[in-house]
Amino acid sequence: MKKLNVAIIGQGRSGRDIHGAYFKSADNTKYNVVAVVDAIEARRTRAKEEYPNATVHADYTELFGRTDIDLVVNSTFSQQHAAITIDLLNNGFNVVCEKPFAKTYEDGCRMVNTAEKNGKMLNAFQQSRFAPYFVKIREILASGILGEVIEIRSTFGGFARRWDWQTSLDHAAGNVRNTGPHPLDQALALLDFADDISVYSKLACYNDFGDAEDYAKIILTAPQKPLAELTISSYDGYAQPIYIISCKNGCLKSTANKIEIKYFDPKTAPEQKHTVAPLEKEDGTPAYCSETLDWKTETFEVNGSVFTKGTDSYYNMIYDYLVNGKEMEVNPYQVLKQLKIIDLVHAQNPLTIKPELRK
């Protein structure tokens, strides 16, 4: 099997602990890490030990001119994603860019246009599309057993205070750009990436020590599509299901490890007819609509996580595109729709950059 040579820019939590961890894992059989870049000397020193067969660099421009690199992973600071990705594409590299794909929709368009101009692959690291629980949710909904989807509620969060660079608006940070690309990508997939999506949102910042939001509520809907309500909160002190989905014939509840569904078969349900006459019991007293449905329940255990199976499936997709020409399930045009929503959310909730926190 042909292996692809990879360069990783950035050795922080994403570059090292997600991408690097995958490339060093037993699941990876298709990629070799041949170059690592980080501006911090201690991280470069560590990278020399962890990637003994790779060259190590302080600046990504040191990669320019190399012909042995098939793919570059851009896991730099969020505010640097667009400029560095465009520079890489203009210098002949295929690029996987960490989320957020870009700070603005306009920047995202510039990235996509640059990739097209240079005939290079560009993708966003949206491995949450392949999270095992989400793959199973889509399978259940597609089966039709729950009937038409009416409402999708997703909750991504926990209770936490933060004070790092990902709480700084100047660094393209905040819950919507940090965590939001995961539920937004999933929601858009469940809405079939509709073009005419309406957006309502609320952002707030209470506990973070920066100036970016640590609470977000985003409501999406489109004609003939269900309503999707996304909560991205640092104030959720209780373990919540990631998803609760309401459907015509039942409902679904999902955590990252278990999915439960409850449904009835409308073909075997009691036959009812509309009436405007007051309902009465047999003794003539007032009655309320009441019937006994034959509810069925099923539980599905989910194996693997978004960081293991999700990442593996994502990089298998990238490999199949670069080596076999197979169409990618995740593509940058879908991510541009996400960026439009993020721009609108921030326009609906203008936040003020604190002068003392400017980079």
Q: Read out DSSP for 202-266?
A: EEE-SS-SSSS-SEEEEEEE-TTS-EEEEEEESB--S---SEEEEETTEEEEE-SSEEEEEE--T
Query: What's residue 351's pLDDT?
Result: 80
**What is the share, in percent, of the chain residues with pLDDT greater than 70?**
98
Q: Are 3 and 78 in contact (CB under 8 A)?
A: no
Checking if the pLDDT of 138 tops 90, the result is yes
Q: Which residue has the higher pLDDT, 170 or 331?
A: 331
pLDDT-derived band of residue 63, with 50, 70 and 90 as boundaries? very high
- CATH 3.40.50.720: which residues of the chain? 4-125
pLDDT-derived band of residue 357, with 50, 70 and 90 as boundaries? low
Q: What is the mean pLDDT of residues 188-201?
A: 96
Checking if the pLDDT of 5 tops 60, the result is yes
SS3 174: coil
CB atoms within 10 A of CB 346: 20
Checking if the pLDDT of 359 tops 60, the result is no
End-to-end CA distance of the chain: 45
Checking if the pLDDT of 163 tops 90, the result is no
Fold that domain 4-125 belongs to in CATH = Rossmann fold (3.40.50)
CB atoms within 10 A of CB 95: 25
Q: Which residue has the higher pLDDT, 80 or 209?
A: 80
Q: Which residue has the higher pLDDT, 328 or 238?
A: 328
Q: Highest mean pLDDT: which of 49-53, 176-180, 287-291? A: 49-53
| Closest-CA residue to 84 (of 95, 70, 71) | 95
Ranges 147-156, 183-192, 205-214, 280-289: which has the least confidence: 205-214
Q: What is the mean pLDDT of residues 74-85?
A: 95
- CATH 3.30.360.10: which residues of the chain? 129-308+338-357
Checking if the pLDDT of 208 tops 80, the result is no
Query: What's residue 20's pLDDT?
Result: 97
SS3 11: coil
| Closest-CA residue to 215 (of 236, 232, 227, 196) | 232
Provide DSSP, 20-72: IHHHTSTT--SEEEEEEE-SSHHHHHHHHHH-TTSEEESSGGGGTT-SS-SEE
Report the alpha-carbon distance of residue 100 to residue 76 in Å, rounded: 11
Ranges 160-174, 245-259, 332-346: which has the least confidence: 160-174
Tokens of 305: 């996580």
| Closest-CA residue to 22 (of 318, 323, 307, 322) | 307
Checking if the pLDDT of 353 tops 70, the result is no
Residues linked to residue 231 through DSSP beta bridges, in sequence order: 155, 217
Ranges 26-40, 116-130, 265-279: which has the least confidence: 265-279
Tell me the CATH number for domain 129-308+338-357: 3.30.360.10
Report the alpha-carbon distance of residue 4 to residue 322 in Å, rounded: 9
Q: Are 67 and 4 in contact (CB under 8 A)?
A: no
128-153 in b/e form (b: 16+ CB < 10 A) is: bbbbbbbebbeebbeeebbeebeebb
- What dihedral angle (degrees, nearest 10) is formed by the CA atoms of 67, 53, 56, 60? 30
| Closest-CA residue to 70 (of 241, 257, 323, 280) | 323
Query: What's residue 151's pLDDT?
Result: 98
Rounded alpha-carbon distances, angstroms, from residue 101 to 29, 90, 107, 113, 267: 26, 17, 9, 14, 46
pLDDT-derived band of residue 221, with 50, 70 and 90 as boundaries? very high
**What is the share, in percent, of the chain residues with pLDDT greater than 90?**
82
| Closest-CA residue to 258 (of 228, 297, 219, 293) | 297
Beta strands 31-37 and 71-74 are unpaired
